[in-house]
Chains A and B, each alone.
Chain A
Amino acid sequence: MRISRFIYTALVPAFMAVAFSFTMKGQNADAVISRINAKAATIKTIEADFTQEKDLSILNDKMVSKGKMYYDKGMLRWEYTSPYSYLFIMNGEKVLLQSSTSTTTGDVASNRIYRMIARIMVDTITGKSLDGGGDFSVKMETSSKGNVAVLTPLKREIKSMFKEVRLHFDESDYVSKIELVEGTGDKTVISLSGVKYNAPVSASLFEVK
């Protein structure tokens, strides 16, 4: 009897965890994607803190960076504050890359790569990347922890850097975590916290001089 109780209490939850972690197909996946797309369409602004953990497998370690991001109607400000200073701004017309030692600006209109990267960053942060924009193929997974969109790059430039992007959604269908998986298996995980949606964001945050 004792063994039976062990089997029940130990194995049943394990079985349930496996049974309820699966790839959604067909109508279920479409319904979840539609719901997420609908939520993404309501997002006009985002303000959030982020923590980025990058696997450094050769050093058996991780590099942890922190910063703050702002999004407003297609404009993005992504700023690392610790342990290094680095600022990226894309305001629809101009791009700014600023480190502690240098500043680079460029025109979005004249640079296809800038446009693509800015679009992908914005679409993954908001969840709009699920709407079939041609950058990724999308597969939905669900588990007890929530829905995960597994994005496989279609474009060569992104494929060369990542084999997969995993977007984790919270119970409100907002993006809570982004996993960037390299071909070697090393990951960069970006977690959002203190997220404010549709709060006023100052236009000065996106100025590129």
Chain B
Amino acid sequence: MRLFSLDSFKFFSFAAILSLVVSCSAARPAETATSSLSGRMSWSVSVMRGGSALLTGLCIADVSDIQGGKDMKGTFVNEFGVRAFDFKAERKPSGKTRVKILSPMKALSNPVLRHVLGKDLAKVFSSGELLECAQDEFPYRCSSASGMEYVFSPSAI
């Protein structure tokens, strides 16, 4: 099974998270997260290209307030419960967000891939909009330079 064969991962989702290896820019200007947003949050996640969804899955995370910043830990799984990876996102004193990819499925276990995936997810998680969308009805969209769009839609899981 080729690592980048999307067909192979359609059942298991999130191999298309691989496409997060390119830089990801928010679709809207970033807004500051409200300090009241914490606790268990969850989203349905779609990876789109050309308006069509390539893959879907779920992101479930615990968000905690740490000295005015937000820390997150959670997991990406597909609807069948197959885990792509766990993650921890920490807000550093410098204000930057660092994401550690934990227990990835085999296809995502390449160290370079994990590093790049962590860096791109840091951009997603550093935006307060992702947390705000968990409370509201609108999805959070993040477009990458490769033409992929990542859509996090609030979902009660």
Nearest CB of A to B81, in Å: 4
Interface string of B1-42 (1 = CB under 8 A from A): 100000110111000000000000000000000000000100
CB distance from A65 to the nearest CB of B (A): 7
Tell me whether A106 and B10 are in contact in the complex, defined as CB-CB below 8 angstroms, given that A54-B81, A101-B46, A180-B81 are known contacts: yes
Closest to A116 in B: B11
Contact of A80 among B60, B79, B105 (CB under 8 A): B79
Which residues of B line the A interface, CB within 8 A? 1, 7-8, 10-12, 40, 44, 46, 48, 52-53, 56, 58, 60-62, 73-75, 77, 79-83, 86, 88, 102-103, 105-107, 151, 153, 155-157
Q: How far is the CA of A32 from the CA of B82 in the complex (A)?
A: 30
Q: Which residue in B44, B103, B105 is a CB contact (below 8 Å) of A84?
A: B44
Measured between beta carbons, the chain B residues less than 8 angstroms from A161 are 12, 82, 105-106
Least distance between A23 CB and chain B CB atoms (Å): 27
Q: Is A111 an interface residue (CB 8 A)?
A: yes
How far, in whole Å, are A156 and B82 apart by their CA atoms in the complex?
Answer: 15
Residue A58 is within 8 A (CB to CB) of chain B in the complex? yes
Secondary structure at the A interface, as helix, strand, loop or mixed, is: mixed
Cα–Cα, bound, A159→B79 (Å): 19
Residues from chain A with a CB closer than 8 A to the CB of B80 are 88, 188
> A59-B60, A59-B74, A180-B81 are known contacts. Are A101 and B44 too (CB-CB below 8 A)?
yes
Q: How far apart sit A114 and B12, CA to CA, in the bound complex (Å)? A: 11
A180 to B12, CA, bound (A): 14
* Cross-chain contact A58 with B156 (CB below 8 angstroms): no
Whether the pair B81, A188 counts as a contact (CB closer than 8 A) is yes
Q: Which residues of B contact A186 (CB under 8 A)?
A: 83
Q: Tell me the A residues contacting B by CB distance below 8 Å.
A: 52, 54, 56-59, 63, 65, 80, 83-84, 86, 88, 97, 99-102, 104, 106, 111, 113-114, 117, 156-157, 159-161, 180, 182, 184, 186, 188
**23 A-B residue contacts at CB 8 Å?**
A54-B81, A56-B75, A58-B75, A58-B86, A58-B102, A59-B60, A59-B73, A59-B74, A80-B79, A84-B155, A97-B10, A97-B56, A99-B53, A102-B52, A102-B56, A104-B53, A113-B11, A114-B11, A117-B11, A157-B8, A161-B12, A186-B83, A188-B80
Inter-chain contact A100/B11, CB cutoff 8 Å: no
Extra pairs beyond A54-B77, A58-B75, A114-B11 (16, CB < 8 Å):
A58-B103, A59-B74, A65-B79, A97-B11, A99-B46, A99-B53, A99-B56, A100-B153, A101-B53, A102-B46, A104-B10, A113-B7, A113-B8, A117-B11, A161-B105, A184-B103
Q: How many A-B residue pairs have CB under 8 A?
A: 92
Q: Find out whether the CB atom of B10 lies under 8 angstroms from the CB atom of A100.
A: no
CB pair B157–A83 under 8 Å, yes or no, is yes
Does the CB pair A58–B7 fall under 8 Å?
no
Nearest-CB distance from B41 to chain A (Å)? 11
Cβ-defined contact, B86 with A102, below 8 A: no
B9, closest chain A residue (CB)? A113
Q: State A113–B86 Cα separation when bound (angstroms).
A: 25
State how many angstroms separate the Cβ of A25 from the closest Cβ of chain B.
32
- Name which residue of chain A comes closest to B46, CB basis: A101
Candidates B44, B56, B86, B105; contact of A160 at CB < 8 Å: B105
Name the 5 nearest CB pairs between A and B, nearest first. Answer: A102-B53, A160-B106, A54-B81, A86-B79, A188-B81
Bound CA span A56–B77, Å = 10
